[in-house]
Every structure is written in structure tokens, then in C-alpha cells.
Amino acid sequence: MSIPSLEQLQALHPAQQPTYPDRGAVDAAVAKLRQSPPLVFAGECDELKDKIAAVSRGEAFLLAGGDCAETFAEVTADNVRNKLRVLLQMSVVLTYAASVPVVKLGRLAGQYAKPRSSDTETRETPDGPVTLPAYRGDAVNGIEFTPESRIPDPQRLVDVYNASAATLNLVRAFVTGGYADLRQVHTWNNDFVRESPYAQRYELMAGEIERALTFMKAIGADPDEFHRVDFHSSHEALLLDYEHAMTRIDSRTQLPYNVSAHMVWIGERTRQLDGAHVEYFRSIRNPIGCKLGPTATADDALALAARLNPANEPGRLTFITRFGAQKVRDGLPPLVEKVTAEGVQVAWVSDPMHGNTFEASTGYKTRRFDDVLDEIQGFFDVHRALGTVPGGMMVEMTGDDVTEIVGGGEEIDEHGLAHRYESVVDPRLNRVQSLELAFLVAEMLRS
């Protein structure tokens, strides 16, 4: 299948695109991006597709995590390292519990564009209410609440490329350069368990992992896999100017790939069957995801699968479900049942974040740790009852000690959110909450 032209996609009126003041400047940015080297290689995307096929068969578990929205200011060694460290720590615990490989996917190195439910944002000021264009991610405009900062600036598309290249370069260096060493990661987990008020609950699993590692050492086993890991990048491919410019024909296979990330996904707000995003995603060969929220019907899921994966290729399509803890047990089964009955190949992954967002009494956008956990439990319950595969989870998290989600062992409450709330869009699990979640999901995997 050939790549539709950007003009053809625009004729389909893609949702959630910025309105730029000067289209000429966008064309210049797009032209520059078209000349830029790929950030990932087609062969790496194919490898990830094979791993996701294993996920769909229950022979691997997918852990996807990272910010709701990356920012240019956060492209620092500390930030990327902390996030990666927590993801690696989570993955060791999950690997042990699942007894299968964990496919590690970062929501990073490209996660800079955000769909918004409203085009504008209104704030109270001393001079009365002020309405400005909504912040759509650093890929589009600035978070600062001023008219200048909120004007969409196409130069930011080139900045996304550069920021993604820097991030991915760092990630690749960390995961192959000793930082991902299994014993080292396990030592960090031991530190976490020791500091936790729930130490007793987590100690058992940490102790078992310790004994497994000691045994491996005793028999002299020291495989390569102990010293490096595979890590892949992903983001919501929202801005078609950027994604189209980063789509290339692979010289080896003559097939089109989005070379800005290994995997890209379609958001809940842009999954219209006849929309521009679905049309674009149809044409690329990367493994792709599609969010499915509570309004999605089983027929929607079937129709999306037919359009996005007509060859029914395993690993090609992941449905990322985000129903909310209250709805997952009733809402998810009809989809899974029908998709399975039709023989459609898909990996099922839980996004336990986006159906569980609410505004705290203190005005912060937040989520309850227990709701996040409960949605994952519901996801496991549904799949186990149907005999299908709960393939993994995608969480919004950070490696830092922020206070954006209420609950967890630190018992952050609605007043505590103000202490360190740094997310520019959705609330993230902090370092401790992310690790707690991994240990608690590990218990689900074993039960």
C-alpha cells in the first residue's frame, strides 16, 4: 500500500490539528523534517512487531510507560535516566512474576503532541476571565498562559525531532552501556523495598528474585541478557504534518514506515474509521496501537481491525483499552468476545489511566492509585474469565518523586497534590507509586 499524500490526508479534515497562522512556515518545517535521518530503523520496528505477536499469544508481557506529555525542558540526562530506571525496575519484577519476557516500550522520544477536549482554556485573572488557545503539547505551542506562547509555532515540529533524537540517543546508550545490568536493577528494587512502608508485602518477591540471581551466579551463568535490554520508543501519532514527514520507504523492503518511533498509536479522539489518522496508519508497516474507550463498540473494534490490519498479521495491532475502573468489567468483555470469536489477531493492553481522571477538590487533575490498580485487576479478570490474554499495560509515570496521583503507600491526599505537581497535562504515577504498581500487578500475574 502506498503512502497517502499529506494533501490527501488533509482533505479528510484530520481532528485535533493546530491552526497555524502561516502555512508556508509549516511547509518549510515539513521539508526540513523530510530530509532528516530516521530515528529508528524498519528492522527494529519489525522486531518489535514479532515481540508484540508473542504478547498476543501470552508468551510475553508488554510494559509501556512514560509521561502523558514530554516537554523540551525535561530533555535532561537526569530526567530520562530516572524514568528509564523505574521502567527497568518494574520490568524485572514483572518478568519474574510473569515468567515470560517483558517487552519494554517507552512513551518517550516523541510524545510531545496532545489532543484536547476543548480548543480553548479560560482562566480567572485579576482583570476577569481570560480565554486563550489550549496548550496542545510542546510540539505545537507553549504551556505559558500568554497569547504569544499559545500561538502554534511550526518550528516546534523540528524541535520535536531534535528532542526525540537526543532522548533516544540517551536511552540507547543507557540500555546497552551497563546501566540496565540486571543485578544493578535488582539492587535498586531492594532499596525500594527496604524504604517502603509495605516492605513485608514486597519482600517476598524481591527475596525470590534475589535467590534466582544468586543461583544463576553460582552456576556461572552470565548471559548477555543480564547486561543489556531491548527498549523501544512509542508515541501518539497525532500531528500529521510531523508523522507524514517522518514516514519513509524502507530501502530493504520498499515498504513505508514511520521512522520517528518503533510503535505509534491512535488516540481515543482520532480513531474515526473514515478519518485521516486511520487512513495514515493503514499505510505504515510499524506495529501500531489504537485506544478503545467506553464508547467503543465491538463492531467498532472489528471495523478498526479490518481497516488497520486487513492481513490479520499477528503483532501488527494492539488494542489499548481505557474504560475506567467502574466500567472495565462490563464494557470490555463484549469487545474481547467478539474480536476473539471473529479470529482477529490483536494484543490487548490495559491503559488504566485515562478512564480514571477527575478533578480534585483542590483543582488539580488527578487519579486514584486504587482506581488504576482496580482497572488492571478488572482487565485481568475479564481476560481470565474469557480465556483470552491480558497482554500488558500502558501507564503514565515518571521516575521523579512528584505528587500528581492520590493514594499509594505514601498516602498522598488531595491537599498533598500541591507539594510537587509538575505534569503539563495528565497526572503521572511517581517513582514509588510506579514500583508499588509493578509489585501489585506481579501478584496478579502469579495468581
Interface mask toward ligand PEP for 199-218; x: CB under 6 A: --------------------
Interface mask toward ligand PEP for 97-116; x: CB under 6 A: ------------------x-
Best CA proximity match to 88, nearest among 75, 104, 112: 104
Identity of the residue numbered 213: L
Q: Please, what is the minimum distance in Å from the beta carbon of residue 394 to Mn ion?
A: 10
- Ligand-binding annotation for 354, yes or no, is yes
Q: Please, what is the minimum distance in Å from the beta carbon of residue 228 to ligand PEP?
A: 28
Minimal CB distance residue for ligand PEP: 267
Which of Mn ion, ligand PEP, none is residue 230 near (CB under 5 to 8 Å by kind)?
A: none
Q: Please, what is the minimum distance in Å from the beta carbon of residue 310 to ligand PEP?
A: 23
Best CA proximity match to 335, nearest among 309, 298, 376: 298
- Ligand-binding annotation for 107, yes or no, is yes
Q: Which is nearer to ligand PEP, 81 or 269 (CB)?
A: 269
Interface mask toward Mn ion for 161-200; x: CB under 5 A: ----------------------------------------
Q: Are 40 and 259 in contact (CB under 8 A)?
A: yes
Q: Which is nearer to ligand PEP, 203 or 422 (CB)?
A: 422
Q: Are 33 and 161 in contact (CB under 8 A)?
A: yes
Q: Are 349 and 320 in contact (CB under 8 A)?
A: yes
Interface mask toward Mn ion for 387-426; x: CB under 5 A: ---------------------------------------x
Q: Is 107 helix (H, G, I), strand (E, B) or coil?
A: strand
279 near Mn ion, rule: CB under 5 A: no
Q: Please, what is the minimum distance in Å from the beta carbon of residue 236 to Mn ion?
A: 9
Binding residue count for Mn ion, defined by CB under 5 A: 2
Identity of the residue numbered 249: I
Q: Please, what is the minimum distance in Å from the beta carbon of residue 264 to ligand PEP?
A: 12
- Ligand-binding annotation for 68, yes or no, is yes
Q: Please, what is the minimum distance in Å from the beta carbon of residue 402 to ligand PEP?
A: 16
Burial-class residue 89 by CB neighbours within 10 Å (0-12, 13-18, 19+).
buried
List binders of Mn ion among 60-79 (CB under 5 A).
Answer: 68
Q: Which of 268, 279, 374, 436 binds ligand PEP (CB under 6 A)?
A: 268
Name beta bridge partners: 255. Answer: none
Mark the segment that binds ligand PEP (CB under 6 A) among 30-38, 212-220, 265-273, 331-339. Answer: 265-273
List binders of ligand PEP among 269-328 (CB under 6 A).
Answer: 269, 291, 322
Q: Which residues of 13-32 are buried (b: 16+ CB within 10 A; e: fewer)?
A: ebebbbebeeeeebeebbee
540517551: which residue's cell? 170
Q: Give, in order, the Cα–Cα distances in Å from 76 to each of 68, 73, 183, 305.
A: 17, 8, 25, 38
68 near ligand PEP, rule: CB under 6 A: yes
What is the per-residue DSSP string for 27-38?
HHHHHHHHHSPP
Measured distance CA(357)–CA(375) in Å, rounded:
12
Q: Please, what is the minimum distance in Å from the beta carbon of residue 129 to Mn ion?
A: 26
- Ligand-binding annotation for 201, yes or no, is no
349 phi/psi in degrees, rounded to 5 = -130, 140
CA angle 70, 321, 438 (to 5 degrees): 65
Measured distance CA(142)–CA(445) in Å, rounded:
41
Name beta bridge partners: 181. Answer: none
354 near ligand PEP, rule: CB under 6 A: yes
Measured distance CA(288)–CA(316) in Å, rounded:
6
Measured distance CA(276)–CA(296) in Å, rounded:
18
List binders of ligand PEP among 129-188 (CB under 6 A).
Answer: none
Residues that bind ligand PEP (CB under 6 A): 68, 115, 236, 267-269, 291, 322, 354, 426
Binding residues for phosphoenolpyruvate: 107, 268-269, 291, 322
Residues that bind Mn ion (CB under 5 A): 68, 426
